Amino acid sequence: MKNLLLILALLCTGLCNANTAATDSVVYHHQATDTTCINSLLQAAHLKGYDKPAKYIEFFARKLQKTPYATGTLEADQELLTINMSEFDCTTFVETVIALTRTALNDTADVDDFVANLRNIRYRGGVVGDYTSRLHYMSDWIADNAERGNFYEATEKFARCDYQTIKLDYISTHSRSYKPIDKDPQLLNKILEVEKKYNNYRYAYIPKKAVASPAVQQWLQSGDIVLFTTSTRGLDVMHMGIITIEHGMPYLIHASSKTRCVVCEKQSLYDYMTANSKITGLRVVRL
């Protein structure tokens, strides 16, 4: 019995170290720092008292500027809801901003509400399961969240939108790049089932050239979430960020691998897209 208690104590010590604190299916990068940051952002937003979600989206996106860029922050031996306010990739940045916004819309909300909102956005049906319960493909992310009323896709509302059909299979055909899937054939089978739903998948997008047109630029709004479609085979979206309108022109706030932090690009949205040959267009999501 004493040996069992000692083992349990050692396990607890290993889990609750100085850098990581876990509770049930939630793990913090650094609990004190993360919760302080979340509370501070929510308090600042409460003082603004905005009446529209888009205003909160832009507010939080700007507040998080200069946060360092990092990849792989969600990867671990076990799938857990990871809270990390100290570093973002493009997806975790957007998900965090959406979760903060949905939390701020409730005046009495706190960190626990933020955690619930982030879980609800990041995972299929809002439930943390294995690695495949996370919404890896952005088309799947949009469809699942839109079905549950978390946000909606506005792409088809744009006058210059077009359609394209693709087959999503990038993860399964590059499975060795995804350690959990590479180690577990059952996870690969589950990913194949997800991909099967998006075989010959047709979706609306705004072609890159059309983004320069007044018809598109007038429809884009501060707080819009934009997802960049790609020519990469088997993949739907290669990057994402948030729109801010300055002097009547759309600009991009995003977690940038180039600048290694969250930044508002100095070049216009269209110029940013033109500089990347793999970007074919964009999709627009709104709360």
Q: What is the pLDDT of residue 24?
A: 60
Residue 111: Cβ-neighbour burial (10 angstroms; 0-12, 13-18, 19+): middle
Q: What is the pLDDT of residue 2?
A: 40
Q: What is the pLDDT of residue 159?
A: 86
- Spans of the chain below 70 pLDDT: 1-24
Helix ranges restricted to H, the chain: 2-15, 31-48, 53-63, 90-104, 111-122, 138-147, 170-173, 179-183, 185-196, 214-217, 269-274
pLDDT tens column, 61-97: 999 999 999 999 999 889 999 999 999 999 999 999 9
> Sign of torsion, CA 225 285 87 181?
negative
DSSP string computed for 50-62: -SSHHHHHHHHHH
Query: What's the structural domain count of the chain?
Result: 1
Residue 195 sits in a domain whose CATH number is 1.10.3670.10
Residue type, 92: T
Q: How far apart are the C-alpha atoms of 114 and 38, rounded to whole Å?
A: 8
pLDDT tens column, 5-48: 333 333 333 333 334 444 468 999 999 999 999 999 999 999 99
Residue 6 DSSP SS3: helix
Residues spanned by the domain of 68 = 2-286
Kindly report the pTM of this predicted structure: 0.91
Using CA atoms, how far residue 267 sits from 27, 52, 227, 274, in Å, is 37, 27, 17, 10
Residue 252: Cβ-neighbour burial (10 angstroms; 0-12, 13-18, 19+): buried
Q: What is the pLDDT of residue 256?
A: 98
Residue 153 DSSP SS3: strand
Q: What is the pLDDT of residue 77?
A: 86
Q: What is the pLDDT of residue 276?
A: 97
Q: Are 206 and 162 in contact (CB under 8 A)?
A: yes
